Amino acid sequence: MRVGVIGASGYVGGELLRILLQHSKVEVTLATSRTYADEFIYRIHPNLRGLTNLKFYGLDPIKAAGSCDLVFTAVPHGTSHKIIPAYLESGFKVIDLSADFRLRDPAGYQKWYGYEHPRPDLLQKAAYGLPELHREEIKQAQLVACPGCMSAASILALAPLAKAGVIEKDKIVVDVKIGSSGAGVRPTLGTHHAERSNIVRPYKVVGHRHTGEIEQELSLLRGEPLIVSMTPHAVNIVRGILSTCHTFTTQPVNTPDLWKLYRGFYHDEPFIRFVKDRKGLFRLPDPKVVVGSNFCDLGFEIDDHINRVVAISAIDNLLKGAAGTAVQCLNVMHGFEEKTGLEFPGIHPV
């Protein structure tokens, strides 16, 4: 199967290429970049040296995509909705890694992104690209909208609790720590090493756009609106997300109750691991353990003092939070074994 990556010079594009170049069921026939047109891919992604001699294509990507059966779009937010309709009209399947088609309600784009969505007709046609929740929709989709990285981590931590209805619907607090690669490849003052190193910096303390995705998915599971409060923090790591989610129960729960909820919800999911150990250093999820993998590690603790359940998840923001989930969606869409191309553990130490 022939695949292309549109916008392949960023961190997510590089991770897509790394996975796809070693995927047994696909051939990478196109990688585009306007900035690095006609440059060898390995000069921008040096870890891929020796794996491919492809060059970045910088001209009309629609015309170039004639060599593909499916395209991944890893372009900036606000760009995908300008180019994806042409791919769909040309008959391509598209897996989008931007935010442009993640929300089903057009009003959500006005609220969380500050603009009126130009193609609201496509929002209901896009499958939300989290296989653990939308596998059957993804199988049938022509357009898949992969989740935001912090959204994915938080949704996976909270989904079993929301589905079971054991938590209060308006008291969900999500605290996220994320590494510097989440800011993308283009440097800014905030990502400059002298300013980014040695920090735990809250940003967009209220109103972060990923809140809309988390509320959307948890509300679908619950069958009624849930309200989420979310605050992210930039921390002094390159890759990884830790999402610590505070919820308050509507009824008494104990550890066996929660194990039953989580194991039942994620039964046989290939990339969900439970981490709640009594021994060792890594007793609860830690991003350090999942870097370089497509795993999401989940754990929880119960605070009987205030009827609180703390749900915790750890992912690699560039893999389970982006490129890894995108390839997982590819496998689901085309009936490949879901773990194809993704069966690698995390790197330790890192």
Active-site residues: which are they?
Answer: 149
Structure tokens at 164: 């079971």
Question: Looking at residue 309, what DSSP letter applies?
Answer: E
Closest CA to 213 of 61, 77, 323, 330: 77
Distance CA 336, CA 230 (A): 35
Distance CA 235, CA 180 (A): 7
Structure tokens at 88: 């769909």
Tell me the three state secondary structure of residue 6. Answer: strand
Residues 6+ apart with CB under 8 A from 313: 153, 154, 156, 157, 241, 242, 243, 245, 285, 296, 297, 298, 299
Residue-level length of the chain: 350
Identify the sign of the CA torsion 210, 211, 215, 216.
negative
Do residues 342 and 33 lie in contact, with contact meaning Cβ atoms separated by under 8 Å? no
- Going by their DSSP bridges, the two strands 70-73 and 127-128 should be labelled as unpaired
Distance CA 198, CA 183 (A): 16
